Structure 1
């Protein structure tokens, strides 16, 4: 498939379009952006949305923002431009959003692969690695057909390979490591907020 993708400016993804019944926000003692990293299926989008709402912050899902900019799904970007093209666009958008204070940003699972991305994350905000076991991750994404890197004959094996490759990079950038496990989202968010409230920002 040949063609080009547009890269137009659009508003960021908001945390919750309704928010009518949202409880009072619990702001953090700092406005540094919070970056969520981790594998596909780790809960970056789900936890990120609830976390942003609880903190009174804007939520941005980098993959969704990239889809809005290009006008097509991530899988189509991979198909047209390959992973290398997707990663270039991802880096450009991460550079933009990582400069925004007061947001919760869910990165794509492979965002940590590029050295410049890791530098943006470590230097510009609080990085939370949402960690889960390979079995738990596969259980969450096994039926998801919108994961281009898992469109292989052995998606479980591919997922475990990606986890082995990326886990040292998640650990490298993380200021906090949070095990999502099987706890309910509301419980996970409360525990994560407690960690973030006590996190000391380096000067």
Structure 2
């Protein structure tokens, strides 16, 4: 198993789970959004302001292409990474894809005070979370090797579920 790829909505816990999972598996952790920020020297919201979502998505595809060719990584993707058919193909073919499936109400509770989410800078951010979930959930499921339902448990419990699922699938 060269790469473990975490997908799911903003607020699903990909970064938190990814860091700890990487530690427990003896792998290196990389968050795609943080990698984009490190390369550009600016925040994701700034990229959205200057280049729009389309510009950000181009950068995201480039980072996904590079990271999914690097062995020994646990990768946390951005929530919208699955919107691109090219990204879905790269993710599905180059690693074990784990969908952190969290109910939209829980996602809203986790993200409602976060001002660093460009897609939630709308008049009704709660409805936006629900709409994004409806749009993206089928795409996450399309490429997921493993689906882990989360939302109320602690990160340790989620990581145990993931490691058990990896063993059952013969991917650990």
Q: TM-score, normalising length from structure 1?
A: 0.82
Which of 130, 143, 146 is equivalent to 1:176?
A: 146
Return the offset for 1:32. 2.2
CA distance in 2, matches of 1:82, 1:181: 30
User: What pairs up with 1:126-141 in 2 under 5 angstroms?
Assistant: 126-141=96-111
Which residue number in structure 1 is paired with residue 89 of structure 2? 119
Write out the 4+ residue segments of structure 1 that deviate beyond 2 Å after TM superposition: none
Tell me whether 1:151 sits opposite 2:160 in the alignment. no
Which residue number in structure 2 is paired with residue 12 of structure 1? none
Which residue number in structure 2 is paired with residue 66 of structure 1? 36
SS of the residue corresponding to residue 140 of structure 2 reads: helix
| 8 Å CA contact 2:148, 2:161 repeated in 1 | no
Structure 2 stretches lacking a partner, 5+ long = none
Tell me whether 1:167 sits opposite 2:137 in the alignment. yes
Structure showing greater radius of gyration is 1
Q: TM-score, normalising length from structure 2?
A: 0.97
- Higher RCO (CA < 8 A, seq sep 6+): 2
CA distance in 1, matches of 2:48, 2:157: 35
After superposition, what is the alpha-carbon deviation per residue over 1:134-184, rounded to whole angstroms, capped at 9, x for unaligned?
A: 101100101100000000110000111111111110000100000112111
- How many residues were matched structurally? 171
Which residue number in structure 1 is paired with residue 158 of structure 2? 188
Tell me whether 1:47 sits opposite 2:26 in the alignment. no
